[in-house]
Structure 1
């Protein structure tokens, strides 16, 4: 059997993991088989390194992780930054003010650190699901440098309203829905597809030799860049339309079936 792709980019939440944030035995085995056949496995996630690296470890792998929706690419072996897209802190002030005025929880992220102004039990439980441990800061004293992602969290209805209102704002930064309960804000050029393109160039891998699997709007650029882009069965219709194929859902080990069907022959 021959390997059809040299690099396999995998989203984490809603793709590799079930909705209960579990990595199943079938998924682990299929990803291991792809790696053993010679494919480079790259996690490509909206999570920061603190949430992404434990998943890579649970898979028993090392290498490169694309984090913060493409805003920071990290070498998992030595925790060095391969590349990151820094935001201009002043561009975030309007977003922060909006969140304060409307009671929307937000966090600020450098490549490796997550910072919040306050925590509630509900918010703390949410971060626990993603293995994230934010520190509390007073941003009124000034914003740190090296910021790569600003994230807001709330109910689906809240995020629907935020998404609609922010869509009309000037495009100094890019906001994207990364889940029903989350919206992420990045540098205007930062996305998973761009980060995957940069990594492929560094590794000398043609896009035709890349397979990508994802499930949400923030995965579309990655699915479109890859030679084979596969949307999960639990994806919104817009994501499925951007893909070359549609897998089973994340509750049906969709990644495993997709890898066995497409990754080698």
Structure 2
């Protein structure tokens, strides 16, 4: 199989646990781009933070961000976007505030969260690692429901950080029964991302594929989280990181090394060295487009 596009998750995949890109990873991405392979990022992160990583890797393709709710090019041109309706946002938040959890509404221009002291400070760690606060303001309010009553918001996604795994499971079951306008995506055992119905990393990648004229089977996807499983299963070659949970590894065709052992660089060099450059394949009329 000839692969035309390489798609990568950011956290736990491209970045090491210290939040940095290793030189070997940058070199591997440059190597595959020189072969004429498109490279893109698929992430739950905001577009500005994904754009920063893309710049470091010299990626010019559109990026799939906010769990697929926004696909945009490096020059900030929106390719595809979906939002959660203001009324649905209000009703979903009113339901979620009954749980002991931290809730964060993410808009492309700001983030809004409730004041909740999470034992593991997962929201703080997320904001710190993604650097969102560098690109837009983040406000904490005592009650999101009261705030939204006066100032409605139509976010790209809602992040929910639970204290207990069973609360997350209960919330997912209830949300799926209450709303057809939104989808609940499990990121890990304590974090839930709520997005507009039909928005996901997979639909975002499929939309980009349609734009470029590539089928999902012509793509390689590398990820490490539960929300990466649909992409790993749908891609022509689905790869999981060595640091990924068992369920993610089980869904993959290939398990590479962990993030701190340069798993992306190893996989890319090991696989794509066997594939001839796209331009050569065109000249040999092995591929037409």
TM-score (ref. length: structure 2) = 0.81
Aligned counterparts of 1:180 and 1:263: Cα–Cα separation in 2: 33
Give the match for residue 42 of structure 1: 40
Give the match for residue 79 of structure 2: 82
Aligned equivalent of 1:72, options 57, 70, 73: 70
Aligned equivalent of 2:171, options 166, 173, 190: 166
Aligned counterparts of 2:8 and 2:16: Cα–Cα separation in 1: 14
TM-score (ref. length: structure 1) = 0.88
1:202 to partner: Cα distance: 0.9
CA contact (8 A) 2:168 2:190 kept: no
Give the secondary-structure state (helix, strand or coil) at the position aligned to 2:132.
Answer: coil
Give yes or no for the alignment of 1:19 onto 2:17: yes
Aligned equivalent of 1:232, options 241, 251, 254: 241
Structure number with greater Rg is: 2
Give the match for residue 150 of structure 1: 158
Aligned counterparts of 1:239 and 1:246: Cα–Cα separation in 2: 9
Aligned counterparts of 1:191 and 1:197: Cα–Cα separation in 2: 10
Give the secondary-structure state (helix, strand or coil) at the position aligned to 1:45.
Answer: coil
CA contact (8 A) 2:89 2:153 kept: no
CA contact (8 A) 1:4 1:262 kept: no
Aligned counterparts of 1:113 and 1:64: Cα–Cα separation in 2: 22
1:60-109: per-residue Cα shift (whole Å, max 9, x none)?
Answer: 33221100111111111x21211112222322334322443434222112
Q: Please, what is the CA RMSD of the aligned residues?
A: 2.3
Q: Structure 1: state its 5+ residue gaps.
A: none
85 and 96 in structure 1: CA distance in 2 versus 1, 3 angstrom threshold: same
88 and 14 in structure 1: CA distance in 2 versus 1, 3 angstrom threshold: same
Aligned counterparts of 2:95 and 2:256: Cα–Cα separation in 1: 38
1:263 to partner: Cα distance: 2.5
Aligned equivalent of 1:189, options 185, 198, 207: 198
254 and 106 in structure 1: CA distance in 2 versus 1, 3 angstrom threshold: same
131 and 181 in structure 1: CA distance in 2 versus 1, 3 angstrom threshold: farther
Give the secondary-structure state (helix, strand or coil) at the position aligned to 1:102.
Answer: coil
CA contact (8 A) 2:168 2:191 kept: no
Aligned counterparts of 2:18 and 2:188: Cα–Cα separation in 1: 14
Q: Which runs of 4+ in 1 moved over 6 A?
A: none
Give the secondary-structure state (helix, strand or coil) at the position aligned to 1:168.
Answer: helix
CA contact (8 A) 1:211 1:263 kept: no
111-120 vs 195-204, which moves further: 111-120
111-120 vs 211-220, which moves further: 111-120
CA contact (8 A) 1:197 1:225 kept: no
Give yes or no for the alignment of 1:132 onto 2:132: yes
1:230-255: per-residue Cα shift (whole Å, max 9, x none)?
Answer: 01111112111221111111121111
1:193 to partner: Cα distance: 1.3
Figure out how many residues of one structure are paired with residues of the other and give that number.
258
119 and 75 in structure 1: CA distance in 2 versus 1, 3 angstrom threshold: farther
1:188-234: per-residue Cα shift (whole Å, max 9, x none)?
Answer: 21111111111111101122321110011111121122111101111
